[in-house]
Amino acid sequence: MTSETINKIYELLSKRFGEQYWWPGESVDEIIVGAILTQNTNWGNVEKAIGNLKQASVMSLAAINAIEIERLAELIRPAGYYNVKAKRIKNFLAWFFDEFGGDIEQLKKSDCASLRVELLSINGIGRETADSILLYGLGKAIFVIDTYTFRIAYRHGLIDDQCDYEELQRLFEDNLPCNVKLFNEYHALLVRAGKEFCKPKAKCSGCPLECLPHEIEQE
C-alpha cells in the first residue's frame, strides 16, 4: 500500500507537471552555493545573490574561497541572513579545501553515506542542505526531504506526525528504485505541488493528488 501510494504520487505529479529540470544551477559550484543560500528564503532571492556573484566574477568555489567573508556577505545580501550564510559557505569551503583540496571530482568519488556524515558535521549544513548537495550537486542517489515532503506524506497517510527526517527518507528510498534521476524529479515535483496546492491550508481542489485518499481540513 505504501509503495503503491508513493509510486502513484510520482505518476500523478509527473503527468500533470512534466519534467522540472532541477536543480536550477549552471555548475556544481553554483548548485552547492545555491543549496546553502536557499535556507529560509525563496528561490528568487537566491537568484539575485547568485547573479551578484556572477557579476563580480566570483561564482566558483575557488573564487569564493579567495574573497573575504565581508565581501561575500555583501554579494549574497539579497538571499537574507547574509552574514550567517556567508559564514556557512566559508565553513563548507574550509572543509572542502582541507579534505579534498578543492577538487570536485574527488568529492564526487567519495561514498555517499560517509560524505553525508561529514557534511552534517559542518556548522550550518543541515540535513536538507546536505542531501541537496549530495543529490543535485554530486549526483548521489539520496532522497531529499523538506517541509512539503512531510506535509504531503502526512496528509496522504504515509506517515504519522512523529515521523522524523531519516524515517521519511527511508520510506521513499525503500519504496522506489534507487535512481538519481527519479529522486531528482520526485523531490522537485513535491516542491511544485507543495507550493501550488499543498500549502499550510491545503488547496485540494484541482491538485494532481486530489484523486488519492487524503484527510485534511480544506479551504
Return residues touching ligand SF4 (CB under 6 A): 152, 155-156, 193, 197-198, 202-204, 207, 209-210, 214, 216
Name which of 130, 62, 140, 124 is nearest 91 in CA terms.
Answer: 124
Least distance from C-beta 173 to ligand SF4, angstroms? 20
CB of 140 to ligand SF4, least distance (A): 27
Nearer to ligand SF4, 88 or 156 (CB): 156
Residue number, 116 or 155, with CB nearest to ligand SF4:
155
* Grid coordinates belonging to 156: 496522504
Report the residue number, 110 or 175, with the smaller CB distance to ligand SF4: 175
**Closer by beta carbon to ligand SF4, 84 or else 212:** 212
Instruction: Count each helix (H run) and each strand (E run) in the chain, helices first.
Output: 12, 0
Read off φ and ψ for residue 143, nearest 5 degrees. Answer: -90, 125
**What is the smallest separation between the CB atom of 208 and ligand SF4, expressed in angstroms?**
7
Residue type, 37: L
* DSSP characters over 171-218: HHHHTS---HHHHHHHHHHHHHHHHHT-SSSB--TT-TTTTS-----B
